Amino acid sequence: MTKLQEARKKYKSVDVGFVLAVITVFQLCSSLPTIITDGKFQAVTALYFLAYIAVEWVYVFVMTLVFRKHNFEIECIAFFLCGLGMTITASIYPGGLKKQFIAILLGMAVYTFLVWLLKDVKRVMKLRPYIAVLAGVGLAASFVVIYFTVGKKNGAYNWMNIAGFSFQPSEIVKIAFVYVGAATLEKLQSSRSILRYLIFAVGCIGILFLMRDFGTALIFFFTFIVISFIRSGDIRSIAFICVGALLGAALIIYVKPTVASRFAVYRHVWENMDGAGYQQTRTMIYSLSGGLFGVGVGNGKLRGIFASTTDLIWGVICEEMGLITGLLVVLVFAFLAIYSIKISKSSPSTFYSIACVSTAAMLLFQVCLNIFGITDILPLTGVTLPFVSRGGSSMICSWGLIAFIKAADLRSYPKLYKSD
């Protein structure tokens, strides 16, 4: 029995036709209030939703018939979450629907390209130093440009405008961070390679702290720990983690006054309901007021709060679509993490295993920062909810990251393992 046959027997693919049909029905029903508002038919909104649904079906059709692929668990998760994001965006900020749709298409293009690129591990290893240099230099250069031209936006130096689109360079560097880390630690051949990744990781995290993008810096640091921990088991790896932790702590101490002032409201939001705790208190009040089934898309109150389609979008989902839908979003990400761990055990390369698990950890950690932040369980860091929040760079990054999970599945490359 070949590796591919073993994988297909062990991991039975979902009935993509049935799952996609269910997702389509859900998307049509949830988007209906944005298509017909105040008794008027919104033709442009309807067109974007129909186009998005068509893209989902065409993608599955082409991949099944042309490329003989049958594992679409990852794509179905992304389709469902992106559809939710489009619904909330169309309801609150109709003008942003076009950009959101384009971002999804770009994200799918990046995802498809990366799945192809990651097919050849030797190619991945050859490109590793170039990706590392490009990511590091690009992040540093973007900080300099933003600092001297754009300035702060929402308290951080991490936003650029390209052709009318707001763009966060740090989001794209997330893909490179996982890529370089997994490729570097695929084989612990020398301390030089470990030192290079340590320099790369600390450099990226340091620049993010200078940008005042503490949420993303924390995500990078957590991913750094996960990547190094997966490859642990010897003194060298343990020392690697400890050095990283010490450097991260040193950076936090260095910016302690800024961090302290920014997170001073943490666990005291109810004492500052009309001040610094305005967003969190309203999120908790309105999300619970929606009950199990919500007040209906377009009928919520949280939609009027700043960042309702980005940082607070999970609260909007709970209020307007119900706690059941909000919990479903959490369960979907939990399933993605479990699925990644399961798939990584049979990956053909250590690179795939490290990249797969670290990607799932990064996404799940970001989800925790977002949801726990707006509910005051953790400090509010201002990170987005992957696939759901409005934002082009976040969407592209989310699609790009799940390519690592897709690549770890033997079923993703049927021709490569057909005769093994």
In tens, the pLDDT along 137-160 reads 989 988 888 887 777 776 677 777
pLDDT score at 33: 94
364 and 77 in contact (C-beta within 8 Å)?
no
Percent pLDDT > 70 in the chain is: 83
**Which whole number is the average pLDDT over 290-315?**
92
Q: Identify the top-confidence range among 137-146, 249-258, 329-338.
A: 329-338
Total H helices, total E strands in the chain: 16, 4
Report whether pLDDT(417) > 50. Answer: yes
Beta bridge partners of 153: 156
Whole-number Å distance between alpha carbons of 375 and 360: 22
> What confidence tens digit (pLDDT) does each residue in 221-239 have?
888 888 877 765 555 655 6
Q: Is the model's pLDDT at 57 over the cut of 50?
A: yes
Alpha-carbon distance of 297 to 414, in angstroms, equals 42
First to last CA, the chain: 8
Could you tell me the two tokens for 367? 């989800």
Q: Rounded to two decimals, what is the model's pTM?
A: 0.91
Lowest mean pLDDT among 42-46, 97-101, 102-106, 409-413: 409-413
Question: What pLDDT sits at residue 335?
Answer: 94
Segment 84-112 shows an average pLDDT of 95
Q: How far apart are CA 255 and CA 51, in angstroms?
A: 46
Residue 248, C-beta contacts closer than 8 angstroms, at least 6 positions apart: 205, 221
160: part of which helix (H) or strand (E)? strand 160-162
CA-derived radius of gyration, the chain: 21
Rounded Cα–Cα distance for residues 86 and 341 (Å): 29
Q: Is the pLDDT of residue 162 over 80?
A: no
Check if the beta carbon of residue 349 is closer than 8 Å to that of residue 186: yes
Q: What share of the chain is helix, strand, coil (3-state, %, to 5)?
A: 70, 5, 25
d(CA 92, CA 84): 13
- Whether 1 shows a pLDDT value over 50: the answer reads no
User: Average pLDDT in the 45-53 region?
Assistant: 96
Output the average pLDDT for the chain.
Answer: 85
